[in-house]
Amino acid sequence: MTAQPADRFSCVAIVPAGGSGARFGSATPKQYSVIAGATILEHTLQALHRCPSIQHVFVAVQADDHRADLIAERTGNTTILHCAGGQRAHTVQNALVAISRRVRRDAWVLVHDAARPCVEQEDVERLIACAGLHPVGGLLATPVTDTLKRATATLEISETVSRDCLWRAQTPQMFRHELLTHALDASPEVTDEAQAVEALGLSPLLVPGSARNIKITLPEDAEIAAFYLSKAQKRS
């Protein structure tokens, strides 16, 4: 077996940031919208950089998008990859290829949504600690607490769905570079990395996270995120 260079990273994060955020209703992609004094992307990168186990952060943007370059300079220890695809999974696939010479084959890769700026250091560190001991990897998630209804095409209730054993998937989602590359190559149309790994017949670990780790999709989500970020800034 060929030895791997010792200077390759063993734990990194990938932030797919190639989307337009159409549902956010802004002319500017949502990751560049400003809340609580900084762009959403900048808050997200700062959150990841608070975790000493993450050695480097890679942000995947569209080929013609240079707005992230200045943000990377301000946050440090960040590389911008101009390799985003049309879908999230394609973006992560491209990023995995782009960083392959900079990470070990068995490196842990944490994929984190650019629009989740409120993720807390203690949750990411818990994920790294717990998933790092698991043979597959894992993801942050929270148990479903709402009553769930299945709807008909005319928006009438067809049934109440049991919430037992149901969890809301969050990010980061953490898997080995080689495994994640293989999984996404085999299932390029998935909506998150865990789904691709599941398709290989493997069972990722659910690591309890926080409801504060919201994904900004709609304008009202940004208001909630700004509230959480402002509270965190006051504590620090």
- Distance CA(194)–CA(158), nearest Å, equals 29
Domain for residue 155, yes or no? no
- Count up the domains in the chain and report the number: 1
Domain for residue 146, yes or no? no
Question: Residue 25: its pLDDT value, please?
Answer: 55
Closest by Cα among 42, 207, 33 to 110: 207
CATH code of the domain covering residue 29: 3.90.550.10
pLDDT in tens, the chain (236 residues): 444 555 799 999 999 998 766 566 566 788 999 999 999 999 999 999 999 999 999 999 999 999 999 898 888 899 999 999 999 999 999 999 999 999 999 999 999 999 999 999 999 999 999 999 999 999 999 999 999 999 999 999 999 999 999 999 999 999 999 999 999 999 999 999 999 999 999 999 999 999 999 999 999 999 999 999 998 887 76
Print burial letters for 93-115: b (CB count within 10 Å at least 16), e (below 16).
bbbbebbeebbbeebbbbbbbbb
Domain for residue 119, yes or no? yes
Domain for residue 85, yes or no? yes
- Distance CA(206)–CA(15), nearest Å, equals 20
Domain for residue 97, yes or no? yes
Domain for residue 154, yes or no? no
Q: Whole-prediction pTM value?
A: 0.93
Domain that holds residue 101: 9-137+169-235
- Distance CA(188)–CA(82), nearest Å, equals 19
Q: Do strands 56-61 and 103-111 pair parallel, antiparallel, or not at all (unpaired)?
A: unpaired
